[in-house]
């Protein structure tokens, strides 16, 4: 009997039945990790809901190190590299413990790995949502020793993928040219997406990706892993695809370790940023919708609230922020049906008035020369029009010509032995967030403003400079390479403090436009200024890219003047409104320049946007025709609300060629069993209806048969109803609202 028992135990050991597998699931995704005490943790499966047995049968199960550290088992590229006090770099990680917990919508699996060579641990955490297909990966580095260690590579996540034939989608850009979507085959070798700007994480590359596992990137088909690293500093996302059949493609994401050796004191730990992942077996469109839902419901501050239509003064008057200009714009936007007026740059500076970008940052007191009655009177005036009031600040910055810099030159980032490199205006510098006095100051900018004027409704928080000098006057020389991490952790701590004191005020994140677009910021901000590029043609493509990862309600999109300031392109008012209506609509021009007909139209367009706003800002997005693919003559999308009772279809013609064939657009996401009544939104032609106007058509027909894009040329023959200038046939658009009967 005893012999039999021993035989059974040795047999089980031999076939590995002692391995303990932990499954963590979302509604349609499964992640399986093997974690047996005393052994290396193994990554078994990540994909559509499946058991390990099913995954094995399909050939989709694997057994690679769940997190590989340098120095032992060099089967996969290493995600962790630590220099221990004796100079040793090798680690041997084995499972020390497993914890599972549930809180609200999230189930978390944490596997603690212990280094057998040093007093050091790693905690791998996987947090899965029960209402959307999102799993967040993060890692905690724990120094149990007495002496400091140096983290030389400290990724958040490592994920093996079996496919060797992948395509990669990523976003790239800079000021006025943000969110360029690039799709490329992931060849063999290593592909890196990274940023080293220090404090502007979406510049020049975003920390987001989609990886299709079958080659090609399709909107509605194929297995796609979407990922986005929520980190506001330097990052790296690496795709290592060795031309070896026995090795998987490995995705690693985390803080960029370049020039960032991180000294971790004995007895302390570093929790790395979260990599948010979603697995879609219905192409990239499904992955985007999942991220949008997750962002609105679980991550972005006030993500499920509807956002106001506002006018921002910047493009209209720039630094000419006078009482008269502010009053006239506020009066106009209120009369047009807008809901908020935002005073941009130029309102502050007492000793040095902010007349241009060369002075005053840091001196957050009203410029009496421009606004003699102060902020309080301005807020009151704006509120008296029945609309909200917003104000611009750039609290992390200082100009060399400012009272703040005169008092605290030691507060800026610079090397003590070199003249600091100035940014915008030849005089801008970045404050050193590692310095607790600077943290108090930045907190104080918002706190003082909100305490003195508690009725301010909105703040535009700008940031127009990268970390050009990566030296802290506060950190000791021995800790300079902690700067890029500690600087950004201090920024987050300051934002947390601001939000604890002022939870309600709407704060827009801006960084010369959208160069800080990152989920790391979004628990503290309600929205993002997508770009200073307001030309609708350029903007449409940018919004298309941004919408891959971010929901429409957080992307501010404003109507520019007829002749765009940056591209000199003339576009019809309707087209400008229709492009901005894809996201959170606003106006970025002086309404007093409208002709009477334009003014009437703007009023109608704003009123109509407010009607479709719940569907646009909270509905599911379906991209129908991409402006980035094929002939690039059209773009089309539709939004559908959660119970599929309402939808909005947006169709844009970007380029007209004579005799161009009629194009069909098949709608998506509707209920095939329901009938929808169709109405054109914000038409320019009150008496000339589209053939489809008022018709009731089944969701099935609209999706299967599709709609021929309405003839957008004939309507504009003869006198243009709004624009006095004769327009070309390019830049035409139509918005339709569908309501189920």
Residues forming contacts to ligand DGJ in the complex (CB under 6 A) are 314, 344-345, 392, 462, 464, 510, 512-513, 529, 532
**134-150 residues labelled b (16+ CB within 10 A) or e (exposed):** bbbbbbbbbbebeebbb
For the bound state, the minimum distance from the C-beta of residue 376 to ligand DGJ, rounded and expressed in Å, comes to: 22
For the bound state, the minimum distance from the C-beta of residue 175 to ligand DGJ, rounded and expressed in Å, comes to: 7
For the bound state, the minimum distance from the C-beta of residue 560 to ligand DGJ, rounded and expressed in Å, comes to: 12
**Cβ closest to ligand DGJ, residue 33 vs residue 459:** 459
DSSP one-letter code for 567: T
Rounded to 10°, the helix 374-384/436-452 angle is: 50
Side-chain half-sphere of 530: how many Cα atoms within 13 Å?
A: 35
**Cβ closest to ligand DGJ, residue 45 vs residue 347:** 347
**Cβ closest to ligand DGJ, residue 339 vs residue 462:** 462
**Cβ closest to ligand DGJ, residue 65 vs residue 462:** 462
For the bound state, the minimum distance from the C-beta of residue 344 to ligand DGJ, rounded and expressed in Å, comes to: 5
DSSP one-letter code for 286: H
**Cβ closest to ligand DGJ, residue 292 vs residue 516:** 516
Best CA proximity match to 158, nearest among 244, 332, 303, 277: 277
Token pair in block for residue 300: 């972005």
For the bound state, the minimum distance from the C-beta of residue 462 to ligand DGJ, rounded and expressed in Å, comes to: 5
For the bound state, the minimum distance from the C-beta of residue 198 to ligand DGJ, rounded and expressed in Å, comes to: 18
For the bound state, the minimum distance from the C-beta of residue 338 to ligand DGJ, rounded and expressed in Å, comes to: 17
**Cβ closest to ligand DGJ, residue 219 vs residue 462:** 462
The Cα–Cα gap between 658 and 188 comes to 44
394 neighbors 401 (Cβ within 8 angstroms): no
DSSP one-letter code for 307: P
Helix (H) or strand (E) holding 110: strand 106-115
**Cβ closest to ligand DGJ, residue 213 vs residue 382:** 382
The Cα–Cα gap between 409 and 431 comes to 9
The Cα–Cα gap between 466 and 199 comes to 6
The Cα–Cα gap between 160 and 143 comes to 26
For the bound state, the minimum distance from the C-beta of residue 274 to ligand DGJ, rounded and expressed in Å, comes to: 27
For the bound state, the minimum distance from the C-beta of residue 424 to ligand DGJ, rounded and expressed in Å, comes to: 8
List phi, psi (to 5°) of 399: -100, 150
**Cβ closest to ligand DGJ, residue 332 vs residue 345:** 345
**Cβ closest to ligand DGJ, residue 528 vs residue 650:** 528
Q: Taking the CB of residue 411, how many other CB atoms lie within 10 A of it?
A: 22
527-529 and 506-509 strand pairing: parallel
The Cα–Cα gap between 740 and 322 comes to 48
For the bound state, the minimum distance from the C-beta of residue 349 to ligand DGJ, rounded and expressed in Å, comes to: 13
Please provide the distance, in angstroms rounded to a whole number, between the alpha carbons at the two ends of the chain: 74
Best CA proximity match to 650, nearest among 641, 663, 662, 637: 637
DSSP one-letter code for 313: S
The Cα–Cα gap between 236 and 233 comes to 10
**Cβ closest to ligand DGJ, residue 238 vs residue 532:** 532
In the complex, which residue's CB is closest to ligand DGJ? 345
For the bound state, the minimum distance from the C-beta of residue 380 to ligand DGJ, rounded and expressed in Å, comes to: 24
Rounded to 10°, the helix 596-618/573-580 angle is: 20
For the bound state, the minimum distance from the C-beta of residue 318 to ligand DGJ, rounded and expressed in Å, comes to: 8
Provide the CA 204 distance to its chain's centre, in angstroms.
Answer: 14
**Cβ closest to ligand DGJ, residue 458 vs residue 634:** 458
58 neighbors 50 (Cβ within 8 angstroms): yes
List phi, psi (to 5°) of 565: -55, -35
235-241 and 249-255 strand pairing: antiparallel
**Cβ closest to ligand DGJ, residue 285 vs residue 514:** 514
For the bound state, the minimum distance from the C-beta of residue 464 to ligand DGJ, rounded and expressed in Å, comes to: 5
For the bound state, the minimum distance from the C-beta of residue 173 to ligand DGJ, rounded and expressed in Å, comes to: 13
**Cβ closest to ligand DGJ, residue 128 vs residue 371:** 371
Identify the sign of the CA torsion 577, 579, 580, 581: positive
Q: Which residues, other chains included, contact 186 with Cβ-Cβ below 8 Å and sequence gap of 6+?
A: 166, 167, 168, 211, 239, 241, 249
**Cβ closest to ligand DGJ, residue 34 vs residue 532:** 532
Q: Give residue for tokens 């609202």.
A: 737
């Amino acid at each position: 009997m005893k012999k039999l028992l021993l035989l059974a135990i040795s047999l089980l050991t031999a076939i590995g039945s002692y391995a303990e597998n932990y499954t963590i699931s979302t509604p349609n995704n499964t992640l399986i990790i093997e974690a047996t005490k005393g052994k290396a943790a193994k990554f078994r499966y990540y994909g559509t809901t499946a058991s390990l047995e099913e995954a094995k049968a399909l050939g989709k199960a694997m057994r690679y190190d769940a997190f590989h550290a340098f120095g032992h088992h060099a089967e996969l590229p290493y995600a962790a590299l630590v220099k221990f006090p004796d100079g040793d770099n090798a680690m041997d990680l084995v499972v020390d413990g497993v914890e599972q917990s549930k809180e609200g919508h999230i189930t978390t699996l944490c596997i603690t790995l212990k280094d057998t060579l040093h007093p050091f641990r790693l905690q791998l955490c996987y947090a899965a949502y029960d209402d959307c297909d999102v799993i967040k990966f993060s890692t905690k580095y724990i120094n149990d020793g007495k002496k400091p260690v140096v983290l030389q590579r400290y990724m958040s996540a490592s994920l093996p993928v079996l496919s060797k034939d992948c395509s990669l989608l990523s976003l790239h850009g800079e000021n006025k040219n943000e969110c360029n979507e690039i799709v490329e085959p992931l060849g063999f070798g290593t592909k890196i997406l990274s940023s080293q700007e220090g404090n502007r994480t979406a510049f020049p590359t975003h920390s987001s990706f989609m990886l299709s596992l079958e080659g090609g990137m399709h909107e509605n088909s194929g297995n796609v892993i979407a990922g986005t690293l929520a980190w506001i500093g330097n990052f790296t996302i690496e795709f290592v695809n060795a031309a070896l059949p026995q090795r998987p493609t490995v995705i690693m994401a985390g803080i960029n370790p370049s020039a960032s050796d991180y000294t971790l004191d004995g007895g302390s730990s570093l929790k790395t940023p979260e990599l948010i992942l979603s697995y879609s077996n219905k192409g990239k469109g499904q992955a985007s919708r999942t991220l949008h839902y997750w962002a609105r419901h679980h991550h972005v501050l006030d993500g499920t609230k509807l956002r106001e239509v506002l006018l921002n003064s910047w493009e209209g008057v720039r630094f000419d922020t006078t009482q008269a200009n502010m009053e006239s714009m506020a009066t106009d936007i209120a009369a047009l049906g807008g809901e908020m007026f935002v005073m941009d740059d130029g309102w502050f500076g007492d000793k040095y008035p902010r007349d241009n970008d060369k002075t005053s940052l840091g001196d957050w007191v009203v410029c009496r020369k421009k606004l003699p009655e102060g902020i309080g009177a301005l807020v009151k005036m704006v509120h008296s029009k029945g609309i909200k009031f917003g104000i611009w600040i750039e609290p992390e910055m200082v100009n060399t010509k400012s009272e703040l810099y005169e008092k605290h030159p030691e507060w800026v980032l610079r090397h003590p032995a070199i003249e600091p490199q100035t940014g915008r205006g030849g005089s801008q510098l970045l404050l050193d967030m590692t310095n607790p006095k600077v943290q108090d100051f930045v907190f104080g900018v918002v706190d003082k403003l909100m305490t003195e004027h508690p009725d301010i409704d909105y703040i535009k928080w700008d940031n127009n400079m990268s970390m050009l000098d990566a030296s802290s006057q506060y950190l000791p020389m021995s800790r300079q390479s902690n700067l890029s991490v500690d600087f950004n952790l201090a920024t987050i701590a300051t934002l947390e403090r601001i939000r604890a004191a002022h939870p309600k005020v709407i704060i827009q994140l801006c960084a010369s436009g959208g160069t800080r677009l990152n989920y790391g910021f979004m628990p503290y901000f309600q929205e993002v200024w997508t770009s200073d590029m307001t030309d609708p043609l350029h903007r449409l493509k940018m919004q298309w890219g941004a919408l891959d990862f971010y929901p429409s309600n957080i992307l501010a999109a404003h109507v520019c003047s007829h002749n765009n300031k940056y591209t000199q392109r003339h576009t019809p008012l309707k087209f400008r409104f229709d492009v901005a209506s894809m996201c959170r609509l606003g106006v970025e021009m002086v309404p007093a320049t409208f002709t009477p007909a334009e003014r009437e139209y703007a009023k109608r367009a704003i009123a109509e946007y407010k009607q479709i706003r719940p569907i646009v800002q909270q509905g599911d997005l379906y991209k129908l025709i991409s402006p980035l693919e094929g002939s690039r003559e059209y773009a089309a999308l539709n939004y559908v609300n959660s119970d599929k009772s309402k939808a909005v279809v947006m169709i844009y013609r970007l380029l007209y060629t004579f005799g161009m064939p009629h194009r069909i657009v098949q709608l998506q996401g509707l209920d095939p069993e329901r009938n929808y009544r169709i109405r054109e939104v914000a038409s320019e032609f009150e008496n000339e209806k589209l053939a489809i106007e008022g018709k009731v058509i089944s969701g099935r027909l609209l999706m299967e048969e599709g709609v021929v894009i309405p003839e957008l040329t004939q309507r504009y023959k003869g006198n243009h109803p709004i624009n006095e200038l004769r327009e070309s046939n390019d830049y035409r658009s139509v918005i339709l609202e569908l309501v189920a009967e």
